[in-house]
Structure 1
């Protein structure tokens, strides 16, 4: 893709315009014949790719292309797949807040991302609206103020770093003014997929006196680390922002020892501690991305003998229905015959999880 075209696309993306399959034809990522056939996919699940990730894709079926280029298999929705697979709505006391655990809340500050991942567990709502309206932000902050058990606020969306530095600074300073809130975690893809947004103004907006900020980078494949992304991570690290990562185990993208080893060791070398490896959630139209739990556990066993423990994330499952996140270990998982698992949640409840056939 030539640079003028990338710049024009970047202008469109700043207006939060979703792409259509035909937009990927000039890059050879979608054939003209497939463009029309893929329209129902993008009409159901929005498509958005930054210029930086367009340059990182060498072909539609590589480790980056598979994450962002639409696929007809997305229209294959299984009965087990859910509109809200991790149960955000079941734990929402006010708009913009998910309060699943006593000491922390998720604050959905926007529904906009710089890229729309084809496997996203919030793919039904991402891009539907823009930033959380001011009245809802005020109500969310009021809920946090009157709930003293809350020590940590996790900004998510959408992607919090798609906000302007001014708006992000307003949220950061408001949280810092709440005496019982000491931690803010930001879940984002921006430093890799839109590294141009990591400016001194954005970095300044991440912190406020009395509030410890952690940035959790979502990345799934070492091919995502283009030079601009490496530079953005260096800026954050130099500014003293602690960096963690979370990845999703995706069939065909990173479900091999070689790719995961490269991903995790690259992250550690860039100053990012691998934190979570998520088993792919039961989002609608994502069955072609999911591995089995047994396959994921085998990968983690193989990795443990090949890379440093500091480079190993925790392999986790968000139990469908909103019952919480648990490590996929023998302490939480029993069974496995015919893909049927009994999963114990943090409160001792048990749930049945079925692997894809």
Structure 2
């Protein structure tokens, strides 16, 4: 990693309608990101990293939601490689959830009795700096096209599995054709009745909601649950809202999971505003995750006691159905651990 000094020459960001073109345009240098936002490395106490090991990816739509000239913008904090990533961080891990222990076949994780998780793709539309899989070996763990039949056969052989979860990376980085083929294979397993997709792409590239995706969901015999990943109300533009409402109209159940992040959403008022905006988008809050001990992400941590205070405030501010469940993934546990049990 190298630290950066730049000038602030304006960068032209392409206006792109096609979702795959937007994904290709997401690769951006730290220098260009700062220049576009009229910021300099000196605006950040620990500086920024010019060439991070975990590359910077910011699609044009998401970039357009970030406030210029504001180094404290909560969306920028999620995508900028800040100098804190290079600080010594004893005890931080590259596989904090010990997921390698649950590999049942190429691309297939079996942690829960009634659910199987497929790492459908190693690609993401955006690189969130706090990502718990930022060090993940997708080459070894993601589902290869050649391994799809074996993974589906493993699911078909276990009648206890009634839900298949597509994760990643991001499963919506797959083309409509490949995603439809995978979903059809899952639908062909009689004892599976629910397909769940976890996606950040819907928030950062709302154009990913294509006619083909909507038709696939509407036509499937499976109950489709889509868990998007949004952390702040500013991410939920009118374009995102329109895309999400299309998915809901097609019959999908929409939930959201967030991560509690210092400098992004570590205040009850911020989370409450986000939850209300989610409801306006047809989405119910689901989980609020405390951060995992991932190498390079310690500056995002929010302490357990502060998290408890925030959750208590939210219960006073919001109706119960809008309060996300505060949880942490604990290695070795077969379910998420609620905040009160930590």
Structure-2 change in CA distance of 1:235 and 1:284 (3 Å): same
Separation in 1, partners of 2:271, 2:317: 11
Q: CA deviation at 1:208?
A: 5.0
Please list, as runs of the form range in 1=range in 2, the aligned pairs for 1:1-357 lying within 5 A after superposition.
5-7=14-16, 13-15=22-24, 18-28=27-37, 30-31=39-40, 38-40=49-51, 42=52, 44-58=53-67, 59-125=70-136, 132-206=143-217, 208-320=219-331, 324-329=335-340, 332-333=341-342
Does the 8 Å contact 1:160/1:188 carry over to 2?
A: yes
1:269 and 1:34 mapped to 2: Cα distance? 35
Q: Deviations over 1:126-184 (max 9, x none)?
A: 88799732122222112111122111111000111111111110011100110111111
- Where in structure 1 are there 5+ consecutive unaligned residues? 334-357
Q: Deviations over 1:312-341 (max 9, x none)?
A: 111110003565411112xx23xxxxxxxx
Structure 1 residues 151 and 209: alpha-carbon distance in aligned structure 2, compared to 1, 3 A threshold: same
CA RMSD of aligned residues (A): 2.7
Q: Aligned residue for 1:346?
A: none
In 2: Cα distance, 1:62 partner to 1:117 partner: 14
Structure 2 distance, partners of 1:199, 1:129, is: 30
| 8 Å contact from structure 2 (residues 217, 250) kept in 1 | no
- What secondary structure sits across from 2:84 in the alignment? helix
Q: 1:86 & 1:208 partners in 2: Cα distance? A: 35
- 1:87–1:322 Cα contact (<8 Å) kept: no
Give the conservation status (yes or no) of the 8 Å contact 1:319–1:325. Answer: yes
SS in 2 for 1:274: strand
User: What is the TM-score normalised by the length of structure 1?
Assistant: 0.85
Report Cα offsets for 1:3-53 as digits up to 9, x if no partner.
76343997765448743212214313652789996124x2x1121011011
- C-alpha change, 1:229 and 1:13, in structure 2 (3 Å) is closer
Question: What is the CA-CA distance between 1:285 and the residue it aligns to?
Answer: 0.8
Which deviates further from its counterpart, 27-36 or 278-287?
27-36
CA distance in 2, matches of 1:318, 1:239: 32
Tell me how far apart the structure 2 counterparts of residues 240 and 196 of structure 1 sit (CA, whole Å).
19
Alignment deviations for residues 60-89 of structure 1 (CA, whole Å, 9 cap, x no partner): 421111011111111125222111111211
TM-score scaled by length of structure 2: 0.88
Counterpart Cα distance in 2 of 1:11 and 1:91: 32
In structure 2, the CA distance between the partners of 1:50 and 1:322, relative to structure 1 (3 Å rule), is farther
The answer for unaligned runs of 5 or more in structure 2 is: 1-9
Between Structure 1 and Structure 2, how many residues are aligned? Answer: 329
